[in-house]
Amino acid sequence: MRRSSAGLCGCTVSSTNPAGEAGADTVPMDTVPMTIIRGTIRRRAIVRQLTRTFERSEASNGRSLPIRKTGRGIWAATPVRVVAEAATILDELGLLDEKHQGGCVIDAGTGDGRVLAVLAALNPSLVVYGIESDRALQARAVANLHALAASGLIDSTRVHLCEADYRDVETYEARGIALHDVGLIFNYPDGNERHLARFVAEHCGDNTTLCLLTHNRTLEIDELELRSRHDVSDGTRPPWRLSLYRPQTAGAIGR
């Protein structure tokens, strides 16, 4: 069940909301508290601004398709709206709760920085680390996140980018990140997901959730235990899939 307060893309006010946008026709306007409406409008504005920033970044890259092979995997970009919708689901499950996620979230294979940007902009209290092995993408992520920090959308003191291998324990030790306490590791699978799952099983704690967000709806891994699956849509079909995995012995996911 979605909390309407966190409904980024799904404000449920009738016909036209105060931003002049059409919404789903389910709840009469006068029953929705103003704080929820303001929160929803604010989140939509943030997602629009992030979408523009990353569209500009892609355009300046000069490639016809935002996809390429990197030294360790394949870079392809998740649409900002899909990341934002996934962040809403994670938030509703309590997985972006500061207490629950042990102080930081890791984006394993951060590409141009968009997942970090969405998480940091929508959940300003989070500390987020993006780890990317490809130097050119890392530089692009730095530029994108600097631009967002300069426009006040994210707090640069809470967003950290590392040019490194996310499957090397030294990457975390060098930055003082206790892998055992990490609550959430985010990844867009590019063929390395099984290695990452094995790494999580070997080095992370029972409360670490591996969160795979992918357009590939047939993807399965058996190195960790699947705890839940969620469809994530930016309005196009078929929806993306968010799969949440935990070590076999761990407890239930959720509040």
Q: What are the residues binding ligand SAM (CB under 6 A)?
A: 70, 72-78, 107, 109-111, 114-115, 131-134, 137, 165-167, 188, 190, 192
3-class state of residue 246 by DSSP: strand
Nearer to ligand SAM, 114 or 230 (CB): 114
Nearer to ligand SAM, 97 or 163 (CB): 163
To the nearest whole angstrom, how small is the minimum distance from the Cβ of residue 212 to ligand SAM? 11
To the nearest whole angstrom, how small is the minimum distance from the Cβ of residue 196 to ligand SAM? 7
Q: How far is CA 97 from CA 6, 11, 162, 174, 241, in A?
A: 13, 22, 23, 25, 21
Nearer to ligand SAM, 25 or 173 (CB): 173
Nearer to ligand SAM, 77 or 93 (CB): 77
Q: Are 49 and 201 within 8 A, CB to CB? A: no
Q: How far is CA 251 from CA 19, 168, 222, 246, 247, in A?
A: 42, 26, 17, 8, 9
β-partners of residue 184 are 105, 209
Nearer to ligand SAM, 17 or 123 (CB): 123
Q: Residue with the closest Cβ to ligand SAM?
A: 109
To the nearest whole angstrom, how small is the minimum distance from the Cβ of residue 232 to ligand SAM? 12
To the nearest whole angstrom, how small is the minimum distance from the Cβ of residue 109 to ligand SAM? 2
Nearer to ligand SAM, 32 or 232 (CB): 232
Nearest to 240 by CA among 250, 229, 228, 248: 229
To the nearest whole angstrom, how small is the minimum distance from the Cβ of residue 104 to ligand SAM? 16
String of b and e for 159-198 (b: at least 16 CB within 10 Å)?
A: bbbbbbebbeeebbeeeebebeebbbbbbbbbebbeebbe
Tokens for 107?
């984006």
H/E element, 162:
strand 159-163
To the nearest whole angstrom, how small is the minimum distance from the Cβ of residue 60 to ligand SAM? 16
